[in-house]
């Protein structure tokens, strides 16, 4: 049934369901590899004013793991990696694997929301191995989505395949027809136009600012004089850090610096199309009178670095630049221009969405907690955490890299200049405490059981590992807290 009568009936059915009347809509814009610490939000002028200035900015938002697939799996499940068991970006590490599909995906936030009457829409990059023939191919649609437009594989801007509700949709390299960020924008506008009745959940996951950093034609000359920032730990040798950081070459070669400056600029260029996406969707929500009943979240899967501790480009490290993410929220009851300092995690997004939909996330297996009370200033209703866990399993190759004959096996991401950004033994777990002390304590699962400790109050750029000078009883305390968090599940992660 269509038309006004149909809409009326649908609205009546929704009320008659007795679940508390009309629910608010949810829109999540999830970017790829967008940092907060290195100026990653600078290109997002419209986004910052539409969401941040008309809503809330979380100044201490973190990913619990700094790699795409594990982090996205944490967002979807609201769980730490030790509970969802997605360890890296490959099928063997459970990225979109059959085991993930069987044991974790049925408990992702869209499943709960769809059951609660939400029309759900996903467009863009999902999990890095999505669409692999060994994981069901493009016919496979993850549960919980009424409309599915999933990118096969990792981020791309042109020459990619989408699964459109399980059907193959191939794209070439013509800007007007194929640019992925714009495809996501256009399809989401169509979804909103055709929406028969709210509430809806939309997740838009553009490829920006991930490699291969292909900007839209009209943005290719933007920021022509921009270079990566030289402040903080740029081109600084991490002399007292674990072996992977010590192998980086300081000073970096001029070709490496030129390379990372280009990447820095191209990342910003790709983000300009995301800024346009946000503006267009806001205009559409306004036209359709949906803006006042929609919560909009803007965040990234993890951070990024360009030259910090002489690591040319990547993520995967425990430092602030890789684990901090932007997080902006606006919506019903959220006052404009608010800045929140409580530590909010990517595993809190799912519980927050459930909370908006009237579902009690503490009854699920999610490890995170809803930050809706912070947004609508009912802080007294929730005790907030003061610390959390960051955990990461390093990726390596079992064979030597032919381009870097001096390096043994076990490492990966050794480009440019044969500086490796990851290794099997770059496997670590950290407690990050924000109050009453601002501290990070990390243990490596490597041959040295290496420990790094940072006092972020005196040393915001993490230049000095204070493991040898900090009070031993403090180390003991942090070690005990780490052991507890590494074994936590559900409620024990929240307390």
Ligand X SMILES: *[C@@H]1O[C@H](CO)[C@@H](O)[C@H](O)[C@H]1NC(C)=O
Instruction: Based on the shown chain and the rule CB under 6 A, indicate whether residue 220 belongs to the binding site for ligand X.
Output: no
**111/470 with CB nearer ligand X:** 470
Instruction: Based on the shown chain and the rule CB under 6 A, indicate whether residue 164 belongs to the binding site for ligand X.
Output: no
Binding segment (CB under 6 A) for ligand X, from list 91-99, 116-124, 218-226, 287-295:
91-99
68 is catalytic: yes
**390/420 with CB nearer ligand X:** 420
Nearest-5° angle of CA 335, CA 336, CA 341? Answer: 80
Question: 370 near 81, Cβ under 8 Å?
Answer: no
Question: 94 near 85, Cβ under 8 Å?
Answer: yes
**317/425 with CB nearer ligand X:** 425
For residue 234, give the DSSP letter. Answer: B
Tokens, residue 75: 């967002």
Q: How far is the CB of 345 from ligand X (least distance, A)?
A: 19
Instruction: Based on the shown chain and the rule CB under 6 A, indicate whether residue 76 belongs to the binding site for ligand X.
Output: no
Instruction: Based on the shown chain and the rule CB under 6 A, indicate whether residue 408 belongs to the binding site for ligand X.
Output: yes
d(CA 318, CA 324): 10
Greatest CA span in the chain, whole angstroms?
Answer: 73
Instruction: Based on the shown chain and the rule CB under 6 A, indicate whether residue 382 belongs to the binding site for ligand X.
Output: no
Among 68, 95, 414, 420, the active-site one is: 68
- Site residues for ligand X, 418-447, by CB under 6 A, read 423, 425, 437, 439, 446-447
3-class secondary structure, 27? strand
Instruction: Based on the shown chain and the rule CB under 6 A, indicate whether residue 336 belongs to the binding site for ligand X.
Output: yes
Query: What sign for the dihedral angle of Cα 210, 214, 216, 219?
Result: positive
3-class secondary structure, 294? strand
Question: 389 near 80, Cβ under 8 Å?
Answer: yes
Instruction: Based on the shown chain and the rule CB under 6 A, indicate whether residue 176 belongs to the binding site for ligand X.
Output: yes
Question: 89 near 422, Cβ under 8 Å?
Answer: no
Instruction: Based on the shown chain and the rule CB under 6 A, indicate whether residue 289 belongs to the binding site for ligand X.
Output: no
Closest CA to 133 of 103, 164, 97, 158: 97
Other beta carbons within 10 angstroms of residue 358's beta carbon come to 12
Per-residue binding letters, 466-495, with ligand X (x by CB under 6 A) = ----x---x---------------------
**296/359 with CB nearer ligand X:** 296
Site residues, ligand X (CB under 6 A): 37, 39, 53-54, 85, 87-88, 90, 92-94, 99, 103, 158-159, 173, 176-179, 182-183, 186, 229, 231-232, 243, 254, 335-338, 377, 395-396, 408, 410-411, 423, 425, 437, 439, 446-448, 455, 457-458, 461, 470, 474
Residues that are catalytic: 68
């Amino acid at each position: 049934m269509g038309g006004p009568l149909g809409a009326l009936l649908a609205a009546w059915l929704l009320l008659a369901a007795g679940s508390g009347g009309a629910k608010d809509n949810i829109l999540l814009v999830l970017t790829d590899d967008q940092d907060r610490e290195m100026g990653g939000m600078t290109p997002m002028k419209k986004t910052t004013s539409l969401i941040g200035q008309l809503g809330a900015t979380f100044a201490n938002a973190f990913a619990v793991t700094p790699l795409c697939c594990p982090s996205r799996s944490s967002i979807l499940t609201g769980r730490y990696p030790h509970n969802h068991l997605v360890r890296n970006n490959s099928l063997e590490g459970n990225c979109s694997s059959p085991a993930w599909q069987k044991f974790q995906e049925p408990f992702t936030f869209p499943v709960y929301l769809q059951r609660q009457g939400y029309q759900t829409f996903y467009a863009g990059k999902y999990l890095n191995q999505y669409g692999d023939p060994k994981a069901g191919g493009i016919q496979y649609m993850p549960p919980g989505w009424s409309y599915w437009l999933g990118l096969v594989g990792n981020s791309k801007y042109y020459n990619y395949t989408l699964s459109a509700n399980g059907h193959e949709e191939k794209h070439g390299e013509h800007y007007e027809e194929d640019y992925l960020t714009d495809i996501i924008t256009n399809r989401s506008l169509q979804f909103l136009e055709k929406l028969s009745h709210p509430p809806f959940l939309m997740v838009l996951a553009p490829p920006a600012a991930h490699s291969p950093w292909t900007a839209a034609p009209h943005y290719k000359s933007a920021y022509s004089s921009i270079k990566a920032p030289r402040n903080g730990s740029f081109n600084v040798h991490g002399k007292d850090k674990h072996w992977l950081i010590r192998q980086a070459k300081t000073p970096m070669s001029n070709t490496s610096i030129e390379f990372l400056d280009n990447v820095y600029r191209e990342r910003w260029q790709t983000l300009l199309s995301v800024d346009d996406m946000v503006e267009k969707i806001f205009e559409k929500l306004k036209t359709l009178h949906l803006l006042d009943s929609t919560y909009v979240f803007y965040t990234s899967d993890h951070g990024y670095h360009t030259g910090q501790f002489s690591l040319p480009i990547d993520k995967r490290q425990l430092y602030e630049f890789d684990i901090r993410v932007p997080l902006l929220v606006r919506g019903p009851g959220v006052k404009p221009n608010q800045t929140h300092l409580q530590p909010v995690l990517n595993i809190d997004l799912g519980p927050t969405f459930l909370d908006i939909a009237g579902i009690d996330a503490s009854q699920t297996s999610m490890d995170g907690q809803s930050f809706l009370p912070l947004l609508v200033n009912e802080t007294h209703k929730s005790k907030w955490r003061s610390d959390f866990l960051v955990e990461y399993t390093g990726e390596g190759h079992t064979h030597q890299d032919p381009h870097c004959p001096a390096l043994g096996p076990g490492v990966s991401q050794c480009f440019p200049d044969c500086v490796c950004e990851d290794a099997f033994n770059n496997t670590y777990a950290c407690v990050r405490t924000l109050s009453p002390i601002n501290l990070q304590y990390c243990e490596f699962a490597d041959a040295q059981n290496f420990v790094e400790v940072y006092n972020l109050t005196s040393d915001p750029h993490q230049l000095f590992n204070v493991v040898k000078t900090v009070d031993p009883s403090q180390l003991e305390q942090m070690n005990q807290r780490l052991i507890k968090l590494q074994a936590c599940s559900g409620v024990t992660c929240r307390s």
